Structure 1
Amino acid sequence: MSVEILTKEDLIRFKIELITEFKNLINERNDQKKKWLRSKEVEQLLNISPGTLQNYRINGNIKWSKFGNTYFYSLDSINQSFDDNSSAPFS
């Protein structure tokens, strides 16, 4: 069985590599957008009330999915709604 000796420089190099890897993981996570938003998040994003969001849902202004008792809204769909109605607010 061979024995390897770690030097202070080895530990410093390992520390730098470890910190760099953590930074990369954090940056990757921050770069990923959420694909689905809950009702509260959409209300805050659009600065609307729960009733207004319900009207958008009923009128088909915003596409949604329901899982259990929770409504989810596609962020891409919301952005598309803004692009489609860029000259006027939701109809």
Structure 2
Amino acid sequence: MPANFLTTDDLREFKIELLIELKETLASFNKILPEQKRFLRSSEVMELLDVSASTLQHLRIKKILPYSKMGSTFYYDWLDIIKIFEQNKKTPKAKLTNPFQKF
């Protein structure tokens, strides 16, 4: 079995590819539809996420969902909501074709 060695050039190439991918990902977060508001009120977030007021309050208290408060109104950044969805994304495990197969 031949040994594979990483060179400095390999690492530079990987770094460039990673930076390009990160840049594209960040750009996609910033491409909010023109009609989309950046900051949403509590009622809009509850409707969007299909959660109750108490669930939204729980997300605030547990510091899961960042918010801003002006007067008595809470505002939530659309990008923070997207980021939380991305962080909590689960990928399905591959199904075994043979139930006795081990990985």
Question: Following the alignment from structure 1 to structure 2, what is the Cα–Cα distance between the partners of residues 36 and 82?
Answer: 16
| Counterpart in the other structure of 1:25 | none
Q: Verify: 1:61 aligned to 2:64, yes or no.
A: yes
Give RMSD over aligned pairs.
Answer: 1.7
The AA in structure 2 aligned to 1:53 is L
Q: Verify: 1:52 aligned to 2:55, yes or no.
A: yes
State the SS of the aligned residue for 2:75.
Answer: strand
Gap runs ≥5 in structure 2: 1-32, 92-103
Q: Which has the larger radius of gyration?
A: 1
The AA in structure 2 aligned to 1:60 is K
Once the two structures are TM-superposed, the CA of residue 77 in structure 1 deviates from its matched residue by 0.2
Gap runs ≥5 in structure 1: 1-29
| Pairs aligned (count) | 59
Deviation string, structure 1 residues 10-62 (Cα, Å, up to 9, x no partner): xxxxxxxxxxxxxxxxxxxx724211000000000000000000000001111
State the SS of the aligned residue for 1:31.
Answer: coil
Question: Following the alignment from structure 2 to structure 1, what is the Cα–Cα distance between the partners of residues 41 and 53?
Answer: 11
The AA in structure 2 aligned to 1:78 is I
Question: Following the alignment from structure 1 to structure 2, what is the Cα–Cα distance between the partners of residues 85 and 57?
Answer: 17
